[in-house]
């Protein structure tokens, strides 16, 4: 089944994300986390793709396990910056061979020291979207950035390029993490004005430690609101308290989104089923409405 068909159905749709193991030895642990998350009956589970492309086989393996053994729709991420066009084509064919119908098409971060662009690689995600379409009838998702992509100086340009990407054949978008919902509402208004009408899933990242916050900030350049910083200041040095507060903060963001008419939410649960479970427990009655 295609994710876009699910998102077009009435009701609230919650999805989760896991990342594949770097080595085959770590496979069982990731599989265990995935199995726990699948018990929450999510609309789908997405599986990230290692920036260097080295974990691509594990992405396909985990995505197949989710779909075939757990009966949950899966979304395989795919990046193109660190692979040649030929290698990307092979990965798409491998996903097809595994019966994977849903792909999140990403450029990926540019590997350090690499001359970019280079003739043998796709430069932007929109080219990857076009390539995926040549390989078959996939449902294609893509990334978007409510605070603007870190490499882009002007938000208007970012939205213009987002429109180009969506027009290339994107069925739905998932946002980068954000911690102030007003930023998301503002972004939605701007992209709708620009003529981007596909479903947008806000990406909610439960931050459960000070180290994770630092990593997230470095990765995405996101702004942490004063309310979040106060939580970190007060509870950051008590791991259990910070974990609880981070789960509540993410839950609060989700409740606000749902209350304001957003029906599709993506949770960056990564490989932590206990966090996914805690959030879903907090929402148990809310998602029935």
Q: Binding string, 172-191, against ligand FAD, x = CB under 6 A?
A: --x-x---------------
How far apart CA 224 and CA 227 sit, in angstroms, is 8
Q: Determine whether 280 is exposed, middle or buried from the number of CB atoms within 10 Å of its CB (0-12, 13-18, 19+).
A: buried
Instruction: Please say whether the beta carbons of 200 and 175 come within 8 A.
Output: yes
Among 98, 149, 243, 272, binds ligand FAD (CB under 6 A): 149
Q: Quick check: 18 binds ligand FAD (CB under 6 A)?
A: no
Q: Is 86 a catalytic residue?
A: no
Q: Quick check: 121 binds ligand FAD (CB under 6 A)?
A: no
Of 88 and 143, the one with the shorter C-beta distance to ligand FAD is 143
How far apart CA 275 and CA 278 sit, in angstroms, is 5
Reference 206, options 237, 228, 184; nearest CA is 228
Q: Quick check: 3 binds ligand FAD (CB under 6 A)?
A: no
How far apart CA 129 and CA 125 sit, in angstroms, is 6
Segment holding 61, helix H or strand E: helix 56-64
SS3 111: coil
Q: Which stretch binds ligand FAD (CB under 6 A): 4-12, 103-111, 226-234, 278-286?
A: 103-111
Bond from prior residue into 117 cis (ω within 30 degrees of 0): yes
Nearest-approach distance from CB 57 to ligand FAD, in angstroms: 14
How far apart CA 275 and CA 257 sit, in angstroms, is 19
Q: Quick check: 49 binds ligand FAD (CB under 6 A)?
A: yes
Q: Quick check: 61 binds ligand FAD (CB under 6 A)?
A: no
Q: Binding string, 204-243, against ligand FAD, x = CB under 6 A?
A: ----------------------------------------
Nearest-approach distance from CB 203 to ligand FAD, in angstroms: 5
Q: How many CA atoms lie within 13 A of 117 on its CB side?
A: 11
Q: Quick check: 152 binds ligand FAD (CB under 6 A)?
A: yes
Give catalytic residue positions.
Answer: 17
Residues of this chain that interact with ligand FAD (CB under 6 A) are: 48-49, 51, 77, 79, 106-109, 124-126, 143, 149, 151-152, 158, 161, 164-165, 174, 176, 203
């Amino acid at each position: 089944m295609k994710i876009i068909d699910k998102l077009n159905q009435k009701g609230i749709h919650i999805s989760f994300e896991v990342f594949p193991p770097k080595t085959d030895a770590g496979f069982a642990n990731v599989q265990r986390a995935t199995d726990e998350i699948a018990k929450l009956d999510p609309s789908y589970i997405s599986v990230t793709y290692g920036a260097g492309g080295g974990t691509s086989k594990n992405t396909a393996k985990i995505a197949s396990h989710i779909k075939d053994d757990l009966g949950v729709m899966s979304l395989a991420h795919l990046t193109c910056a660190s692979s040649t066009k030929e290698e990307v084509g092979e990965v798409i064919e491998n996903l097809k061979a595994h019966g994977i119908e849903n792909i999140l098409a990403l450029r990926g971060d540019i590997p350090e020291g690499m001359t970019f662009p280079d003739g043998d690689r796709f430069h932007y995600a929109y080219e990857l979207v076009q390539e995926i379409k040549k390989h078959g009838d996939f449902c294609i998702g893509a990334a978007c950035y409510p605070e603007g992509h870190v490499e882009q100086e002007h938000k208007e340009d970012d939205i213009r390029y987002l429109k180009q990407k969506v027009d290339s054949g994107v069925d739905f978008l998932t946002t980068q993490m954000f911690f102030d919902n007003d930023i998301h509402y503002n972004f939605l208004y701007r992209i709708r004005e620009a003529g981007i009408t596909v479903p947008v899933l806000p990406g909610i990242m439960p931050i459960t430690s000070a180290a994770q916050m630092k990593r997230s900030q470095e990765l995405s350049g996101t702004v942490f609101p004063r309310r979040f910083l106060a939580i970190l200041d007060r509870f950051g040095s008590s791991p259990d308290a910070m974990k609880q507060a981070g789960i509540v903060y993410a839950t609060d963001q989700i409740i606000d989104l749902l209350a304001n008419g957003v029906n599709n939410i993506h949770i960056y649960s990564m490989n932590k089923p206990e966090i996914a479970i805690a959030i879903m427990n907090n929402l148990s009655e809310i998602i029935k409405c």
